[in-house]
Every structure is written in C-alpha cells, then in structure tokens.
Structure 1
Amino acid sequence: MNKNKKIPSPQGPLKGIKVLNIGTAIAGPWAGTLLGYLGADVIKVERPSGEYLRLLFPRQDGIATAYTATNLNQRSAEIDNKKEEGMKAMQQLALQADILIENFRPGVADRIGLGYEALHETNPNLIFGSTSGYGDVGPMKDLAALEPHLQAFSGLSDMTGKSGGDGEMIRFTHLDPTGATFFCGLILLGLIERERFGHACWVRTSHLANTIAHMMNRVAEALMTDEPIERLGSASSISAPNQCFKCLDEKYIAVACDNQRQWEGFCRAISSEELGDDARFKTNVLRVKNREQLAEILQALFETKPSRWWALRFEAESVPFGYNLEFDDLLYHQQIVENEYLTTLHPRHTGAVKVGGLPWQFSKTPAKIDPKVPIPGEDTEEIMKNGFDKNILNQAPKSPTENPELPLKGITVIDLTQGVTGPFLGLLTAEAGATVIKIEPPEGDWAKKLAPETSTGNSALYESFNRNKKSITIDLETKDGLSKLREMIGKADVLIEDWGVDEAEKKELGYEQLSLDNPGLIYLALSAFGEKGPLRNRPGSELITQAFTGYLRTLGEVNEDPVRAGADVASTVTAGMAFISLLASLYHRLQTGEGQRVSTSQLGSLMTLKTLQWSGMTNPDDWEGNFCKNETVGAAYGQRTTDGAIFATPSPALTQEKFFEMIKEFGMYEEFITEKELMDNWWNSFGVGTHSKIAEPLWNKYIEKLTSEQVLEILNRYEVWAVEFAKLKDLIEHPQLQALGMVHQLGDQFYLRAPWSTPWGYPELQSIKYSGND
C-alpha cells in the first residue's frame, strides 16, 4: 500500500443517496449518521417539540450531548405531520428519498401515515428500513425496549459479571449504537439489492435480533455444546490465559493468548517454559478447563514485578496486552491521535465537543465527519420548501427481476482471515448470498482450537462463524500457493485479510499490486489498532480492545478486579462496521466500475461506537447523567428478586398517582415518602433515572421479598416497562426469540442466522465445506 499517495477529496461512496430519517433516540438517528459519514444526504425530521433524547443528561449549553453526537452529518428539520402542510412536506421528502429510516414500535409508521405500503406506492424505489425493540412478531412485539431492557433480557447481563457474582449491565449505552451499526448494514443490503436486481424492499430488524447476533460466539456455545454460560470476571470462555492480572505496582495488565503461538510466547515472556510443558496447560482447551488453577499460578507471578516489566516482556514476544484506559489517557494517546480516533467538533450552539472518529479509511471515496453540526430544526424552512433539492427529478422505477434476490448473489469473497472478526464478517456476506471461499493455512484457522469444543473437534465459534463457506487449504509460504491465490483473487469481487499492516505487500498481495489485474476488487484490511501509530503492528485481542476503550471502567465495582463484557462485543461490532464499508464500496463499484481498498480496525470501531461517552465527558454543564457517572457508581445489577433480577423503567403512561399506588403494593410507600429527595424525583427513582442509584437500596429491600414473576406482574399493571434478567440458554427457547426465527437446525446442530427479516430471506443453511488442497 502506498501511504504517500494523494487522498482524493471526501465525497464518500454513497454520494447521491438521499436518506429520510424519522428515527428517534439512538438506533435510527445513529444509523443515519453512519450513512451521512459515507456521503449520503441525510435529513433528520423530528416533531416540533423535538425528540426526548435532547433532554437527557449530561447536557452542554442546555442540550443533551447524546443528541448532538447521535445526529451528525444530517440536516435537521422540525415538521408537524399532523398538519396538512407538514404531511405534504413529509410525503414530498419520501417521494425524493432513496432510503427511509424508522425505529418506532411496529405499526406506528403506518398509523402516522408514513408506513411502507403508503410510501412505496408513490415511490417504488424507496428502501424502507425498520428496526423495533423486540421485532415485528411475537408476544413482546408491542413493548418498548431501552438499552438496559435489552442487556437484561438478551442474556448479555447474565454472562457479564465477576465469577460467582450476580449478572450485571454495562453502564454505558452499548447496544443502541451496536444495533444502529447492524441496522445500517441491513439498509445497505437493501440498497445493493435495488441496484442489482431492481427491488426496493422493506428491510426489518430489531434491537433484540441485533443484540443476539453480536453475541454469536456465546450463542454458539449455548446451541452447540453442553458447557454452561458462566460469568468469568475479566476472563474469557474461549481461551486462557485471557484476563487481567494485578501487578506489583497495583496496576492491572490485560493479557490474552488466543492461540498456541501466543501461549508459547507468553511462557517465554514470563521465563516459565516449564509451565508450557505442564500437562494441565498443553492445549488451549485444557487451559480453559483448568483456567482457575492457571490464573492462581499467574497472579502470584504477576505480583512480583510492576506492570511496566511485564509490558516490556510481552511486547518482545508479540503477546497481546494492554491497560484499562480512561478518557484523559485516550485524548493524548499517540495511537488515537495519529489514527484520528477522536475528533473535535465546534457546534455553534454547544461549543466544542469530542466524538469518536471514523471507523473506516477508503482509498478512493473517503468518508467524512461534517464539521457543521446543525442547530436542531435550523433547516426546517428550506426543507419544507424544497425537500432534498427542488431540482431533483423523481427516478423512473427500476426494472426488477421476478422476485427479490439475495443481494450478494454472484459476488465472490476471498476470506483470508482467522479468529473472530474476519470470519464473522465473511459470514455476514455469506448470509447475504455471497460465495465465500475461506483460505486456511496447512495448520488450519487457529479458531478451531478455541473452547468449547463441539462434536466435530472444532470450537463452537469456528463452526458457527464459518458455516456457509467453502474452505480451501493453501500454503502461502510456497510459490505455488501464492500463485494459486493470486489466480483466485483475479476472479474475485472482495478480498478480506487480517494479516497486519504491510504484510500483504511483502507477499506481493497488496491492493495496488492486485488491482492491476482486477481493478474492480474491493480489498478490505482488518487490523487491531489501525494502520498508523506506534501500535500499528502490535497484535490485539477482544479483552485488550475492551480495556483500551474503557469498557472495563463501566463494569464491576469501583476499585475491585476488572470485569469484561461477557460476549466478544469488540470483535463482532468491528465486523459490523467492516460490513458497512464493504457494502458501501460495492455500491460505489456498481455506479463507477472501480474497486478500492478499505481498512477498519477494532480499536477504531469501538472508539466510534463509544462516541456518546466521549461527547458526554467533553465539557458538560454539570457532572450529571450516565455518561459522566458510569465509571464511578458501581456495578448495575438491576432490581434483585428472590429468584433473580429485573430491570424496570417508567413508561410515559405512569402518573404520580399510579406510581404511589404501585409502591404501596410493594409495601415501600411509607418509607419512600419520608425521603424528600426521592419524592421530588419520583419519576427518576428507578430504571435509568438520575436518582435510581440513591433509591436502589430501598427498592431492593422490598422487591427482594418477591419472585421476578410477581414483581413483573405488579409493574406491568401500572404500565412500567420491565423485563427479567434472562439466561441465554433459556432465552433460546423463549417464545419471542422463537418468533424471530433466527435459530435454524441442520442435522443435529443448531445455528444462529443473521439479524434481519427481508423479502429475499436466507440462503440454504450449510456447514463449512472442506476442499482440501484445491
């Protein structure tokens, strides 16, 4: 890759695409932001009073930082569609748009006159993207779902927490932007289907479906093995050692050995090669089985030297390691600065605000964060008058094939990746109809040796992430192997690699070399930390990225052992981000015929995903709200019951009168009314409210006397939105997940499908096909 090559001016691969965003909160608006980053013209429309996200804390100059960070790269209009003039304006926007985004509960878009059927009749080219809380079908379809509800109900909280402790929630809005990421990918699939096959479809997903999909490695464990889904603190279910250790200087260092080569380097780094010869730890599966014994030995060793010593040793042996960083560490960290993973915007109405940088780098169509941040509603007059553009001519309907087709049908993907992120990305393309050829070295993908094992002898993660692919073994250390691969790439549409910066060029397989013979090639490079900076060649891992980006600071109890998110969230979110860039590049190729190189990193993806955190900590009016306090308030366990835990938050229908009736049923009224601060803030005394932590002991005192079922029955009667903390294995059998139809059977195995509901459906389910030395 020629890093000195002049970068073209930012126009983005989606230049010319028009998006009408009527979404609210985070999932819909942030999907619009991502499309805006990619060059689409996005108009965000709200009711005249503005959406509720503007009122959250923290605020900067009176407006919620979350609102500012969630609505970038979009024009802003306030339109009352209940009035004739407003509805006409909305209909005109929908007539001109390529894409509509909404994330209401099922049926709401129809009820307000902006449903798919009504709009598609006048604009047959409109791709209608919907994401709801729990899906369009099933017993929970009409329920609202805030971030904590999904963390609790999805099983993510049940698998997160210290070993032997209670399940806990990530004290950060993680699932909302994650859901927006997968939603954005689905919308782009709809765009690709329209461009290739002529159908402008209604594409649907849900918060629950996206949450389950981004936990696919843990779901695979539940579906394909008998191993329990446990809470492991900072440790991992798939490899060991893979956790945080406390050093002599009282600092924690995160270390991860995902494969045998890293384990052998780890043993050299700690000067204990005899540990590698110990029969209990010879293989990764054995190390996971004997994780506690191994951790005890290692903790005693780490306590003998400061963290700096271990960092030097691990760096010398290419063992993934890192630290639990905070915001101020990241602001000036050379890796963050050189890759521009944080950027400063200067909205006129709020002052300077930090947001996550771009997660992708395109060689020919650079994405861009627009420095102009609109004042809410400032574009209303222009948009009411002209729509997207008064000179736009409505497009003629496409010439569709007889039925909707899988969007990536006929697209060939060469997948050179191993582990988690790359294979998950390859799987997403396979689920959209691509022919995915997985190239494995003679020793195989190291993910085969992760834990737990399935009946095939391979890991559940490997079997789940590599289904619907054809595997070919090629030795790239030989001339014949390299020649064979070059021949295959010459006929391919997409190449995915995770070899590390400049490694492809050393094999003469870099983009500039390959594009000479295949100018339409879309070349997607994945890395751990980005392609610039001092860490550009350092190996990464799930835990290391979670620690680097501060996830561990929003889990566990303050000043106690670190806790990680219980699923491989960094790896799967990165795959989701890369999927977006792949589809955007494919759209650009359909318009121009040219391919390009795109790079995405795990660090960059999580820095982008945490943009709400960075904006909240920039310069708030007061140190109030989740994004300010989530690192210091302690573990979030929900409201404990006799047999588990629930999470509840007030619905708009909850009045003060009903609230007091409700707490009388729980028996806590007399004690509650003695607390003036709680009385003054009764609405915020539970759920995500500003006074929920203060009131938590009082709630627990009375709710702990009841079962989860009893508590939910009372809450539901008073129109409180509440769910129980579900266990993943139980959730798989839950009627709501069954209704979504995401779990499919092949022989005696069960697999999780992609998180979308579309007219084109899924390709036939197949286990990975091996072709040996092809």
Structure 2
Amino acid sequence: MKEAKGPLNGVKVLSIGTSIVGPWAATLLGYLGAEVFKVEPPQGEFLRVLYPHQNKLSTAYSSTNLNQKSAGLNTKEEEGMNAMLNLAKEADILIENFRPGVADRIGLGYETLHKSNPNLVFASSSGYGDDGPMKNLAALEPHLQAFSGMSGITGYRGGDGQLIRFTHLDPTGAIFFCGLIMLGLIERERFGHACWVKTSHLANALANMNNKVSEVLLANTQGEPLSSGSSTSAPNHCYLCEDNKYLAVSCDNQDQWSNFCNAVGLNELTEDPRFIKNTDRINNRDELDGIIKEHFIQKPSRWWSLILTKAKVPNSFDLCFDDLQFHQQILENNFLVEVDGEHTGPFYVGGLPWEFSETPPKIDTSIPVPGGDTEKAINEGFENKTTEISQEQSDSPEYPLKNIKVVDTTQGYSGPYLSFMLAEAGAEVVKVEPIGGDWSKELSPQTDKGVSALYQSFNRNKTITQIDLHTDKGQLEFESLIEDADILMEEWTNNSPESKIYDYDALKAKNPALIHFSLSAFGHRGPMKNKPGSDLTIQAMSSYLRTMGDVGEEPIRVGADVVSTCTAAMSFIAILSALYHRIQTGQGQKVNSSMLGTMMAIKTLQWSGFSDPDSWEGNFCKNETDGSNFGQRTKDRSIFATPSPALTEEKFYEMIKEFGMYEEFIKDEDLVKNWWNSFGVGTKASHARPLWDKYLTKMTSEEVLEIFYRYEVWAVEFSNIEELKNHPQVEFLNMFEKHEDGTYLRAPWKTPWGFPKINPVKF
C-alpha cells in the first residue's frame, strides 16, 4: 500500500480565513497532502462558539479545521505580525475570505505580501464580490440562499420558497474556492505567473445552480418550487409506499423511463401520448405523478426498490445518520470517518471524496488543538523550506490549462459540468458521445436550438464527436484520441465492456502521463458500486431531504441540482491535484470520485454535530426537526435578517417597537433572555418566528428592510433568478455573458487570465 502523502505533498498553505469557506478549503488542501498553517487571533475566531458544542468547543469549528497546524497570533503586536509575515513569505498559497479591503487594512493584502514573496498565490473569497453596492454586506449562509434565488426554487409545489436548514453554501463555496486555488497553483507551476485569484460566496451560489440559471437565461423559463420534483425530467419524485416510507425515484433518460414502466407494471404508459417523450412527461407531470402515487401505495418501499434496482432505475431510501453509520456502502467506501482529540472527544466527519492510485490523500484523525502550534509558527514556520517552482517568474497571465487535452466520455449532469469548468480554464475538451448523442439533450426545458438548456450550457467550448465504442472502427478512433490525451474522463461501471477494454493499467502502458478520471454515483466499492444515481436519489441517501419541509410531510429536495454541480466541483479539485503532481514528477494516475462521496463530505458539519454534542442546541442538531423556514415574511415577500455586532439590546428594543411587537415580545421570558438569538440563525429563531411573522406581514419588504438597515441588522430579500439577471451586484461579478447564441453563465472566478471566448455547441 502506498504511503499517504497526497498529490499536494510539499505545498505550503497559510490560511487566515474565518468561519467555513476559507478554513474548509484549507482542510481539503490538507487532505490532499499540503502543509497547512491556520492562523487566527489568540482569542479565536467566531466559529468556535457556534452551537452545537462538544466538550465546550464548536463541532463546526473542529470539523472544518482538520489536517492543519493551528496558531494564535496577535498581528497588532510586533512578534505576532512578524511571525505572520514570515509564514506568508514561505507559503505557496494564502487563503482569506474577509470582506473586500480587510486584508489590506490589517497589513496582509496582496500587494504587500507579493513584494516579499512573488511566488505566492493569493486567494480571496468575499461575500458578494470585491466591488458593487453590496460588497460590504455580511453574507451568512441564509443570506446567500435567499438572495441567490436558491430558496426561490426550493419548497412545496405552489408554495413559497424556503431555506435549506443545513449550511450548504458554506462548504460548497469552499469546494469551488479550492478549485480556483488549484488553478492559481497550476498556472504558477506551468507558466511562472503567481497572482491574485478571486471568487465570492454569491458567485459560488450561482455556480451551484448553473443549470437552473441556464434554464432562465437560455430557455426563458422561471424557476419554481416543485417539492421533490425536478424541472428537467419526470418521473423524478419521492413516492409514498404501503409501509408509509417514501422512495426517491428518477428517470433521467428514455431508457430509464422504459425500464421503469416495465419493472413496475405500467407498460401502457410508454404508449400514452401524454408521456412519450421527457418533454411530454414534464408538461403532464401532475397526471403522471398521480398515476404513480396510486400505484406505489399498493406495495412497500422495499419491493419497489428491489425491482427498480434490477431494472437499473435510480432509486433510494430517505436515510438518516443512524442508517448511514452502519450502511455497507458507506463502510466499504469510508464515507464516514471518526476523528478524535483529547480536547474534544471523538466525532464523525465525511470521508475522502476521492481516491488516487499513486498519491493517496489522508484525513488526519487527530483533531488540532486551537492555538497548539503557536510557538512553532513564531519560531520555526513551515517544515518544508524549499521555494523552487517549475517555471521562471513571469508577469504574463496564461490560461492554467492551456494545451491540456481532455477526452470526456461522460453524459448528463456532473461529468459535462466538470469538463465545462476545465474548458473555462483553457483546456481543449473533446467530448465523445454515443451515436445519437448525450441523453441530456432530451431534458427540459428546451431552448430554441431544440436541446435542453443544460446541454447547451454545459457543453459549449468543446469539440463534440459521436463514436460507437462497441465497434472495431469506433474503438480505433477512440484510441487515437486518448493516445496523446492528458486527461480521460469516464463514468463506466466496473462491469461494463468499456471498463474492461480501457482498463487503467492498459492505458498507462501506452500513455504513462495520463490522468484517468472515473466518476460513479455511489462509490467505486460496495454493493451499490454499479448502481445508477441521480441528484434526487443522492440527496435522499445523504440525508439532505431531512433539512427541508416539515417532519412527517412529503419530502422536499433542494431545487437546484446541487449534487451534480458540487460533484463536478469536487472532482475538479481532484483532477487539478493530479495534474499538479504530474507537473512535479511526470507521473499520471487513476483518480476516482463519486456523487455520494461528495455529499457525505459536504455534510461533515452535520455528522460532527450529531455525533456526541454537549446539548441538543444549534442548527446542526435541530435542522431535521425545526420545520420549514421561510425567513421573515412580510406583506409582499420574505426576507432574511440576522443581528450584526452593532445591534445592542437597547437598539433591539427600539427596533421592535417600530415593528409594533414590543409588548408581546416582552411577555415571553425566554425570548427576553435570548433577544439576540430571537431571529436569524439564533437558537430561539424558530420559537420566535410566528411572532415576527405576525407583525412583519403588516408591512412591505421595503419598509421592513429600511428599519432593519437603520438598526444595522444584516438583511436581504428573497430573490429569484430572473430578478438577479439585471441586479447591479450580479453585474459586478461579470458572470453573465451575452452572446448572439444566448446569455451564458461563466465560471465563478475573477482572475488575470480571464475566460476563453464563448464557442457555442454546433447544431
């Protein structure tokens, strides 16, 4: 067994970020072998006090700061600042996620540090972007869910949009941020240009929803909550069965639809003109779901799952943490890992979402003690003292993946979105589709080009060819493509003919530098390794459905296809890490990633909070039972508000007098004692929500926001994607680019190298 040094062995990372986005991006780099120093003020950052606690320390803090050395430095004093500057001088990467201008203000800005370390990749992730009218606003998780439009497409059918009660955009923002950091490192190693790379929480939220945004931009549709349904395919829903359990079922393509009808005994539906094609089924979704609901209630969920699995139709039970702890698929893929520390005790985190054949990553199961490496930071710095890079320094930016050839055989959502991001960084992508094309062309909604918005968006800037890999001619054509490829992407099951013909060892013999990337739904080992998956079924299995809607009611899914986009972003990190290792050694390798592994890793905050908390307090304990969260309702739309540090108790009571709720509020002793926690993400917010709704619904959102802003409360309105198209803050992100073929969403980063010119899919 190879020593677990990771593909980033030798890379030095200085993390001065706070909360989750910066620290967890650093943790992922640490998993991949980088040497990471986390530096925070001696008193610690805010996240340490967030509930739930285990042994009086926040589980969110402990679980998102693994594989790091921890130091507490007072940069207002000479010793602390000197130590920080010395670390920055030695580092390859600096990570910060402050508001724009804060790093400069504390003496740790890009210009200052770049002078002493011209090889430093300086990485920033702000809240709403580094410019624009909202650049200085706080961007807590619910603010971004509300403002980005994600909440607007999540909720009960025909009802208001609602918040995901799990902190989704923070860890996924870290994933997209980490991928951008890797691009900066790759550009430096290949072209000698070390620079400042930027992203934002808002940009990453939009990237989470790329195909939903594309439905608005390219197909002129407006998103809406669909309960557990999907805007792209049908049937795609959670159905109640005879045993009073819901089963998540998806038919993403025509083969799955035919197999579904045959397996469940509804063959007549394949001839019904209402349901012939996917677009027909979407247009007649209610009738179709009604038929299936009546059918599924007649037998237990176990029966339906058995026959659908045999028919290769994606399905999954709605699982909880207790189910997952002992689930064979989770155990065989190590998707839950127990970490431990004397100061915390043991708890679970999501396991590694990738496998590398030559450079295995590793989760250090020893939890860092906050500030435990302060003396080392002051007196020693990084262990690795080498400062060499592969190329001479240059002032000229280049696309990081310029002249990198990618052969992509994947279809649908995750794989094409991954190769889309590679193309956005300058890679030459050849997409190999089967005869007849990628099945995602038939998804809904359709554009005026006669294909789905998803296909048109995800497959631009690629050379697309159709090859029959089951013929001798097709195999010869394919082999000529991959003989000089840098990266091969596939999603073949290990019992497929393709996986046997194009085994990695055989490919390596002909192309030793090849990075062979394999994507699966449920992981590359275990009883479900060859089972097809979907966004809905992975959301169900990873407990996502439990953090929306109400206990005992029909499940709700995240309206955006977050499993697919986040899997692509997590896989992006893996491919770039393998490429970095190849630059250093010339060695290629096999890299595996999965949809379930990605979502299990993202839910680290949940698993750590559930493990053994001191009390059942805080979002990561209560989010499965708190009920639907619509923010604060007003007369015309919902908003989300949370107190800023400037809100004093005196100002709070002045504010609620303006809302007219003071007299009723002070009658509740529990709320009076916990006034700070009575709204936003506070521990008493759900208890106080009916009271806020009673009074705020008498006012318009504009009136409510005006009062909140005067009292320095952080608040935003719930937006929809259509409204964001022309919002001034989104314009500053430069993510929407108009082309004669339509408006496209670009990748979520701002860099000196920019983007390649849009090259639409040829029809």
Structure 2 counterparts to residues 421-436 of structure 1, below 5 A: 421-436=414-429
**From 27, 31, 37, the counterpart of 1:33:** 27
SS in 2 for 1:526: strand
Q: 1:532-556 CA distances to partner (integer Å, 9 max, x unpaired)?
A: 1110111111000000000000011
1:354, 1:480 → 2: CA distance?
A: 50
Aligned pair 1:210/2:185, yes or no?
no
Structure 2 counterparts to residues 552-591 of structure 1, below 5 A: 552-591=545-584
Aligned-residue Cα RMSD (Å) equals 1.1
Cα 1:661–1:249, aligned 2, differ >3 Å: closer, same or farther? same
Aligned pair 1:726/2:698, yes or no?
no
Cα 1:684–1:602, aligned 2, differ >3 Å: closer, same or farther? same
2:288, 2:696 → 1: CA distance?
A: 39
Aligned pair 1:648/2:638, yes or no?
no
Q: 1:295-342 CA distances to partner (integer Å, 9 max, x unpaired)?
A: 011111111111111112111211111111000000000000000000
Aligned pair 1:289/2:283, yes or no?
yes
1:225, 1:505 → 2: CA distance?
A: 35
1:395 Cα deviation after fit: 4.4
1:65, 1:695 → 2: CA distance?
A: 25
Aligned pair 1:411/2:404, yes or no?
yes
Aligned pair 1:154/2:148, yes or no?
yes
1:503 Cα deviation after fit: 2.7
**From 660, 670, 673, the counterpart of 1:680:** 673
SS in 1 for 2:262: helix
Does the aligned pair in 1 maintain the 2:469–2:498 contact within 8 Å? no
1:382 Cα deviation after fit: 1.4
Q: Which amino acid aligns with 2:59?
A: T
Does the aligned pair in 2 maintain the 1:125–1:397 contact within 8 Å? no
1:401, 1:138 → 2: CA distance?
A: 31
Question: In terms of mean alpha carbon deviation, does 664-673 or 282-291 score higher?
Answer: 664-673
Question: Partner residue of 1:537?
Answer: 530
**From 306, 316, 319, the counterpart of 1:322:** 316
Aligned pair 1:386/2:380, yes or no?
yes
Q: Which amino acid aligns with 1:50?
A: G
1:270 Cα deviation after fit: 1.3
Does the aligned pair in 2 maintain the 1:95–1:394 contact within 8 Å? no
Does the aligned pair in 1 maintain the 2:494–2:500 contact within 8 Å? no
2:753, 2:559 → 1: CA distance?
A: 33
1:507, 1:76 → 2: CA distance?
A: 46
Does the aligned pair in 1 maintain the 2:414–2:568 contact within 8 Å? yes
Q: Which amino acid aligns with 1:235?
A: G
Aligned pair 1:311/2:305, yes or no?
yes
Question: Partner residue of 2:359?
Answer: 365
Does the aligned pair in 2 maintain the 1:133–1:144 contact within 8 Å? yes
Aligned pair 1:472/2:465, yes or no?
yes
Aligned pair 1:443/2:431, yes or no?
no
Question: Partner residue of 1:145?
Answer: 139
SS in 2 for 1:649: strand
2:142, 2:395 → 1: CA distance?
A: 43
Aligned pair 1:703/2:669, yes or no?
no
Does the aligned pair in 2 maintain the 1:134–1:206 contact within 8 Å? yes
1:113, 1:397 → 2: CA distance?
A: 29
Question: Partner residue of 1:345?
Answer: 339
Unaligned runs of 5+ in 1: 1-6
Question: Partner residue of 1:356?
Answer: 350
Does the aligned pair in 1 maintain the 2:348–2:608 contact within 8 Å? yes
Question: Partner residue of 2:217?
Answer: 223
Q: Which amino acid aligns with 1:463?
A: Q
Q: Which amino acid aligns with 1:515?
A: K
1:602 Cα deviation after fit: 0.2
**From 56, 59, 72, the counterpart of 1:65:** 59
Aligned pair 1:76/2:70, yes or no?
yes
1:507, 1:377 → 2: CA distance?
A: 50
Does the aligned pair in 2 maintain the 1:134–1:208 contact within 8 Å? yes
Structure 2 counterparts to residues 654-665 of structure 1, below 5 A: 654-665=647-658
Question: Partner residue of 1:245?
Answer: 239
SS in 2 for 1:49: coil
Does the aligned pair in 2 maintain the 1:181–1:577 contact within 8 Å? yes
**From 102, 121, 143, the counterpart of 1:127:** 121
1:768 Cα deviation after fit: 1.9
1:216 Cα deviation after fit: 0.5
Question: Partner residue of 1:232?
Answer: 226
Q: Which amino acid aligns with 1:247?
A: C
**From 241, 244, 252, the counterpart of 1:258:** 252
Question: Partner residue of 2:480?
Answer: 487
Q: 1:648-690 CA distances to partner (integer Å, 9 max, x unpaired)?
A: 0001111111111111111111111121111111100000000
1:227 Cα deviation after fit: 2.3
1:494 Cα deviation after fit: 0.3
Question: Partner residue of 1:749?
Answer: 742
SS in 1 for 2:592: strand
1:573, 1:579 → 2: CA distance?
A: 10
1:506, 1:465 → 2: CA distance?
A: 25
1:506, 1:546 → 2: CA distance?
A: 27
1:400 Cα deviation after fit: 3.6
2:446, 2:545 → 1: CA distance?
A: 28
SS in 2 for 1:491: coil
**From 592, 597, 600, the counterpart of 1:604:** 597
Does the aligned pair in 2 maintain the 1:470–1:769 contact within 8 Å? no
Q: Which amino acid aligns with 1:181?
A: I
1:584, 1:191 → 2: CA distance?
A: 10
Does the aligned pair in 2 maintain the 1:125–1:398 contact within 8 Å? no
SS in 1 for 2:124: strand
**From 728, 732, 753, the counterpart of 1:760:** 753
SS in 1 for 2:464: strand
Q: Which amino acid aligns with 2:505?
A: E
Q: Which amino acid aligns with 2:452?
A: S
1:144 Cα deviation after fit: 1.0
1:615, 1:514 → 2: CA distance?
A: 40
1:396 Cα deviation after fit: 7.7
1:398, 1:682 → 2: CA distance?
A: 57
Question: Partner residue of 2:262?
Answer: 268
Does the aligned pair in 2 maintain the 1:414–1:494 contact within 8 Å? yes
1:23 Cα deviation after fit: 0.3
2:138, 2:53 → 1: CA distance?
A: 25
1:105 Cα deviation after fit: 0.1
Q: 1:697-722 CA distances to partner (integer Å, 9 max, x unpaired)?
A: 11111100111111111101111000
Does the aligned pair in 1 maintain the 2:352–2:362 contact within 8 Å? yes
Cα 1:712–1:19, aligned 2, differ >3 Å: closer, same or farther? same
Q: Which amino acid aligns with 1:335?
A: Q
Question: In terms of mean alpha carbon deviation, does 504-513 or 639-648 score higher?
Answer: 504-513
Question: Partner residue of 2:81?
Answer: 87
Cα 1:639–1:396, aligned 2, differ >3 Å: closer, same or farther? closer
Q: 1:445-492 CA distances to partner (integer Å, 9 max, x unpaired)?
A: 000000000011000000000011110111111011011111110111
Q: 1:553-600 CA distances to partner (integer Å, 9 max, x unpaired)?
A: 001111100000000001110000100000000000000001000000
1:399 Cα deviation after fit: 2.0
1:505, 1:114 → 2: CA distance?
A: 51
Q: Which amino acid aligns with 2:233?
A: S
Does the aligned pair in 1 maintain the 2:22–2:174 contact within 8 Å? yes
1:504 Cα deviation after fit: 6.0
Does the aligned pair in 1 maintain the 2:423–2:429 contact within 8 Å? yes
1:397 Cα deviation after fit: 10
**From 94, 99, 103, the counterpart of 2:93:** 99
Identity value in percent:
59
1:63, 1:743 → 2: CA distance?
A: 42
SS in 1 for 2:95: strand
Does the aligned pair in 2 maintain the 1:124–1:397 contact within 8 Å? no
Aligned pair 1:523/2:542, yes or no?
no
SS in 1 for 2:170: helix
2:417, 2:348 → 1: CA distance?
A: 30
